[in-house]
Chain A
Amino acid sequence: MTTAMNMGAFKDLLETYGADLARWPADTRAQAAITLETSETARNLYADFAPVDDAFADTKAPAGLAEKIIKKIQTS
């Protein structure tokens, strides 16, 4: 059964490989996923590093999503 990794190891991997777990060494990914699910500290760390990956991969949200959100607040 896969268990969470210690926070030092998680932070070290996050600093090295970034917030995209698909880029982490294969043998660490399942543990990292569990760690993210079970640790608030891990999620806070993840939130700190996510902007770096985000800056490199400026993924486009679906066209019209922003307008849909604005429309909802205007009609609520």
Chain B
Amino acid sequence: MTTHQINADNANGASQDEALLARIAKDDTTAYATLVDRYLPRLWRIGVSVLCHEAEAEDVVQEVLLTVWQNRHNWKAGDTKFSTWVYRVTLNRCIDIKRRRRPTTGIETISDIMPAGTATADKLMADRQQSAQLLQMLATLPETQKRAMTLFYYEELNIKEISNRLCTTEDGARSLLKRGRKTLRELLENDNRYEYGSI
């Protein structure tokens, strides 16, 4: 599988999105249901990661996706990508809720955002699975980048452990992760390149 082939697959995915969104603008609820299925897992993950509270995450995801439907006739093409917009709206809403939850104290530590070892964090790990698309994308990376990424995500190794496993320096391990992540980000971006203006 070459990068060119994967980009072609991603372009097909983007085309499917475009078709769905055009149908949604014409009040097609079936198309909306398909879009919900596509984005729900991603928005859910942002919600539970930031809020560490499933009921609140559920409220945020519902609110954001309902907003998409309620404003379906007002969408217009622009500089902002739909996927970026929807991630940003979800994140902003989660942060708003966190501020309201503890308005006088704010966030002092990361445990306020993503406490390790909580039921939510454990669920995130238990639910982890590989997608065929991701495996195809990983296959295009140079071997050392691919190994660094898989050690980081699937074995959850830290930088020192990755450097030991790959017989490189810690700076070398960081560089491999950065380059691998950059490539994957670009491939995924092509998959979500439907462009939208703000709602």
Give the B-binding residues of A (Cβ under 8 A): 2, 15-24, 26, 29-30, 32-34, 36-37, 43-44, 46-62, 65-66, 68-70, 72-74
Contact = CB atoms under 8 A, between A and B. Distances in A.
B109 interface: yes
B166 interface: no
A63 to B, nearest CB: 11
20 contacts: A20-B114, A21-B113, A30-B108, A32-B110, A37-B106, A47-B88, A48-B185, A54-B46, A55-B188, A56-B128, A56-B154, A58-B41, A58-B127, A58-B128, A59-B127, A61-B40, A62-B44, A65-B40, A65-B62, A69-B61
B8 interface: no
Chain B interface size, as a band, is: 35 or more
A62 B54 CA distance: 9
Interface string B66-90: 1001000000000000011001100
Contacts of B115: 22
